[in-house]
């Protein structure tokens, strides 16, 4: 099997999409040849059966030049290299641009998409795609016979339990994700205020790891910093900035509790990465109800409810070490069984095998 993978970035050092490098490597292990076309190509170290192109954003190419580079590469790979299918990561516009070439060659296009957003671009892409794979039922919200839930693709060899000794006596509460309003960090800051200033918990601290991806979100970041100052939490609440995805594991491993307040409406991979490191998680995202199973009642809190989040944090911090260890083992097993990158890639390749043998009808 020969496939083309189209993604936003291939870059070992990227804080958000660094995992795409792992996905590419694991996919290459299962097929004869993999061509990769990222819009931005950074540092990479891929297997010998991988051939990498780029739309040139990392070289400063403008939108018109990137469009030309994209189409030249797609035409060459699909029409001359005779690939058997196209795998598109998360961006519906790539499916639309790639569709004429795929239809001409008679090969299937499969897209991974995991977000609550539905817009005209996604609807058009859905009509053109052969299959859509996603991480949960809520990850793709167009009613479709083309949808298959396969998993989130977590590297459980990288994200694994490892004891890191804290450099102070404080318990650490961690959250990972880009600095954006959809991540709802203001609720975490308000919960910190309740715990530290109202309930006198001076033995805890909060850590946020995440990039500020756009200038527009710098305003949001300044508002968060202002909220930290308002509650006098400068010595308890820290923003660590962007960390390469492969290095985030040590942050999970060194925390006592992980919190996700995202409003994406789908399975955020950071929660599963924390679980893979055997960490107890607290989330407000409804799709995790099925993932967490018996633990959902204690680990899911109401969106935006800082007081409930504070109570749940306090409850976890009072748990016995043995109980924490047992729960952590259970949470890691959930990820290993249902959301590992190995299972993800096995199911993805199966989708292509099925797509090559017959097309899915709208």
Give me 196's structure tokens.
């530290």
C-alpha–C-alpha distance, residues 228 and 222, integer Å: 10
Q: Which of the four CATH numbers 3.10.580.10, 3.40.50.2000, 3.40.50.1820, 3.40.190.10 does domain 171-338 have? A: 3.40.50.2000
Given a contact cutoff of 8 angstroms between Cβ atoms, the answer to whether 180 and 217 are in contact is yes
Q: What is the pLDDT of residue 362?
A: 39
Given a contact cutoff of 8 angstroms between Cβ atoms, the answer to whether 134 and 148 are in contact is yes
Residues listed for the chain: 362
Buried b (16+ CB within 10 A) or exposed e, 23-35: bbbbbbebbebbb
Continuous segment of H or E residues that includes residue 331: helix 321-338
C-alpha–C-alpha distance, residues 174 and 105, integer Å: 48
Say whether pLDDT at 359 is over 60. no
Is 257 in a helix, a strand, or coil?
strand
Q: What is the pLDDT of residue 357?
A: 64
Give me 182's structure tokens.
């959809």
Every domain range in the chain assigned CATH 3.40.50.2000: 2-153+340-357, 171-338
pLDDT, tens digit, 9 for 90 and up, residues 162-216: 987 767 789 999 999 999 999 999 999 999 999 999 999 999 999 999 999 888 8
pLDDT, tens digit, 9 for 90 and up, residues 208-249: 999 998 888 999 999 999 999 999 999 999 999 999 988 999
Given a contact cutoff of 8 angstroms between Cβ atoms, the answer to whether 271 and 260 are in contact is yes
Closest by alpha carbon to 86, among 55, 51, 130, 151?
Answer: 130
C-alpha–C-alpha distance, residues 137 and 163, integer Å: 34
Given a contact cutoff of 8 angstroms between Cβ atoms, the answer to whether 345 and 153 are in contact is yes
C-alpha–C-alpha distance, residues 108 and 360, integer Å: 9
CA dihedral 352, 95, 114, 303 (to 10 degrees): -170
| Residue 227, phi then psi, degrees to nearest 5 | -70, -40
Say whether pLDDT at 337 is over 70. yes
Given a contact cutoff of 8 angstroms between Cβ atoms, the answer to whether 36 and 44 are in contact is no
Give me 142's structure tokens.
């167009």
What interhelical angle do 306-317 and 185-193 show, nearest 10? 60
C-alpha–C-alpha distance, residues 23 and 28, integer Å: 8
pTM above 0.75, yes or no: yes
Q: What is the pLDDT of residue 358?
A: 59
pLDDT, tens digit, 9 for 90 and up, residues 255-309: 999 999 998 777 889 999 999 999 999 999 888 988 999 999 999 999 999 999 9
CATH fourth-level superfamily of 2-153+340-357: Glycogen Phosphorylase B; (3.40.50.2000)
Given a contact cutoff of 8 angstroms between Cβ atoms, the answer to whether 77 and 53 are in contact is yes
The most distant pair of C-alpha atoms in the chain lies apart, rounded to whole Å, by 67
Q: What is the pLDDT of residue 104?
A: 95
What interhelical angle do 19-28 and 341-357 show, nearest 10? 60
φ/ψ bin of 33: left (φ > 0), alpha (ψ from -120 to 50), beta (otherwise): beta
Closest by alpha carbon to 224, among 266, 263, 178, 258?
Answer: 178
Q: What is the pLDDT of residue 360?
A: 44
Cα angle value 343/348/351 (rounded, 5°): 130
Cα angle value 129/11/75 (rounded, 5°): 40
Given a contact cutoff of 8 angstroms between Cβ atoms, the answer to whether 79 and 5 are in contact is no
């Amino acid at each position: 099997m020969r496939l083309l993978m189209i993604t936003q970035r291939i870059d070992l050092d990227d804080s958000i999409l660094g995992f795409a490098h792992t996905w590419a490597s694991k996919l290459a292990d299962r097929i004869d040849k993999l061509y990769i076309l990222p819009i931005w190509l950074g540092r990479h170290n891929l297997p010998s059966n991988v051939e990498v192109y780029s739309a040139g954003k990392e070289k400063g190419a403008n939108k018109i030049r990137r469009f030309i580079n994209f189409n030249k590469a797609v035409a060459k790979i699909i029409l001359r290299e005779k690939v058997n299918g196209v795998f598109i990561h998360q961006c519906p516009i790539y499916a639309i641009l790639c569709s004429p070439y795929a239809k001409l060659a008679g090969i299937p296009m499969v897209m991974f998409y995991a977000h609550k957003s539905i817009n005209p671009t996604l609807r058009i892409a859905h009509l053109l795609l052969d299959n859509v794979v996603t991480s949960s039922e809520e990850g793709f919200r167009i009613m479709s016979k083309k949808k298959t839930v396969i998993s989130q693709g977590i590297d459980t060899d990288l994200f694994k339990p490892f004891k890191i000794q804290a450099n102070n006596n404080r318990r650490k509460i961690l959250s990972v994700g880009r600095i954006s309003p959809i991540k709802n960090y203001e609720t975490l800051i308000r919960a910190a205020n309740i715990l530290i200033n109202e309930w006198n918990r001076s033995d805890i601290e909060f850590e946020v790891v995440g990039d500020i991806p756009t200038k527009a979100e710098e305003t949001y970041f300044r508002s968060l910093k202002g909220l930290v100052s308002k509650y006098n939490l400068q010595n308890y609440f820290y923003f660590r900035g962007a960390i390469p995805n492969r290095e985030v594991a040590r942050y999970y491993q060194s925390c006592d509790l992980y919190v996700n307040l995202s409003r994406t409406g789908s399975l955020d991979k950071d929660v599963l990465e924390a679980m893979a490191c055997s960490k107890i998680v607290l989330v407000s995202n409804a799709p995790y109800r099925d993932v967490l199973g018996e633990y959902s009642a204690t680990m899911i809190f109401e969106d935006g409810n800082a007081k409930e989040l504070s109570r749940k944090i306090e409850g976890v911090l009072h748990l016995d070490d043995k109980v924490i260890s047992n729960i952590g083992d259970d949470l890691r097993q959930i990820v290993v069984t249902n959301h590992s990158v190995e299972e993800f890639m096995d199911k993805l390749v199966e989708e292509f095998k099925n797509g090559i043998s017959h097309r899915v009808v709208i």
